[in-house]
Structure 1
Amino acid sequence: MSSQTILVTGAAGFLGSHLCDHLLNEGHSVIGVDNLCTGSLANLAHLAEEPRFRFTELDICQPFDVGPVDYVFNFASPASPEDYHRIGIETLLVGSVGTVNTLDIAKKYSAGYLHASTSECYGDPEVHPQVETYWGNVNPVGPRSVYDEAKRFSEAVVTAYNRYHGVNTHLVRIFNTYGPRLQANDGRVISNLMMQALQNLPLTIYGDGSQTRSFCFCTDLIEGIVLLSRSDEHTPVNIGNPIEWTILECAQEILAVTGSSSEIIFKPLPQDDPTRRRPDITKAQNLLGWEPKIKLREGLERSLAHFKACIDAQ
């Protein structure tokens, strides 16, 4: 495809920065914006001399305009429990006001649009594996609601801009993703256990370890998202790895990869923490010809250097 000018919000975040890399590697020009409340300029440091990349620090909850763009990828949002519990109001605002502001840019410039939604829209699911037609089981006033309901609202407003304004919108529901640049202390499974294992600290498992997650390596995820952005599909599409791991099995994989001698300890499960999480990716397979390639062991090995560097920087 021909070179485009693409806006990426949340560009300094874990996934946003990998998306910028992918788009630049395809030959596009990228405008990255981020307010750096959870993102880090270190994730973009390797692009400092890249002439086709421009970064602007700004808050998308305030009206803004970066000039004409051909496409908008909206990845701006805290994504980890540590972050959205700390800045809950900001999380609600970026999912609502911030999403509307980015949609207005897409509408103004007749640009394509993709919004990064989440498997958290399914809540603690009563349907397993989760299919896109499942409406979810979400507590609207629980401790996770600032994130869950922000994302559910954003899906509604993205769909409305397609329905009422004809914006070429796309919705990806992202399942657990990991890899280099994942925040080291963000409270999520992979980062917690990797950091603990590399320091030979006890591995903390919440609950009895039988709850499940499905872990997708970041490059696999980004490839699926970019394919979705170029499709004609406007309803939500799951992008994630359908292989289900218990948290205890994940911890054992991390011990094997790190060679750690850490013991495993158990703590109470947080309120509303989903007990099972696994995407049904039939829609992505049929629509995009996509499925993940990188197995958990390989992905953890690819992530080791990143987490070791995080420890060295402490």
Structure 2
Amino acid sequence: VIINVADASNLERNLYLTTQIIDMDVKVVMALNMYDDLLRKGARLDYENLGKLLGIPFVPTVSSKGRGIKELFDKVIEVYEDKSEITRHIHINYGLSTEKAIKTIQQTIKVPENYKITDKFSSRFLAIKLLENDVEVMKLIETAPNVDKIKEIAKHAAKALQNELSDDTESIITDAKYGFISGALKETFKEGVLDRRKETDRIDSVATHKFLGFPIFLAFMFLMFQATFTLGEFPMNWIDGGVAWLSNFLTENMPNGMFKDLLIDGIIGGVGGVIVFLPNILI
């Protein structure tokens, strides 16, 4: 039994891994860690209903305080003993064209001579990963007796899918996974008031305030001016001194001639006159 630990305060991103576990067709229990953060933000999650939709039991936990750990392991035992009413295998629908490609590859993998592979891994999972050009799965199927046929079918199916949907197969499958997650959360997750007010909104509310916005803008411009000319003065002096030292050194140690004039007055003098302003430009 796999314990899939997810950050409850960032469900959409964390549930992406869960979709891959669903494809693998293995027993799993989801630990919704940091569940107190989710509640603190005013959000609400019907995790029991979400579990029914995904076929995976969800257990809210707060590991830093030891909350929900006993319930989590009780649920693991329940799933292991096949006593969970929620646990069931579902298929994520990747769309008609993608499902057709998956089925074509899956039929090539799911043959009696490949039992050593299919006994350990779901043929559907392998087919999806082959569509995504997963390197590890590519290595895994090298042991299959009909490996050449599998590769040929997978390559042809991936190319046909890309041509039809005008996108690479990895993006197609990723988009479908996030679409599935979004649909499941839409039915079970209610965003809190604090969640709606994003960090950027808080910054914008101050920076674009009708009274505070203009003084903040002037203060920011003043700081930029000071940083450019006050802080920039130090490296400017260092560069200017370095150029002057190099010029004097070459003047004293090089024989007179056209090359000396070109090097000192032309190259060093010209480049030095430009790079001395480099700190101001960078700041």
User: What range is the shorter-chain TM-score in?
Assistant: under 0.3
Hey, which of these two has a bigger chunk of strand by percent?
1
Please, what TM-score do these two structures have when normalized by structure 1?
A: 0.22
Please, what TM-score do these two structures have when normalized by structure 2?
A: 0.24
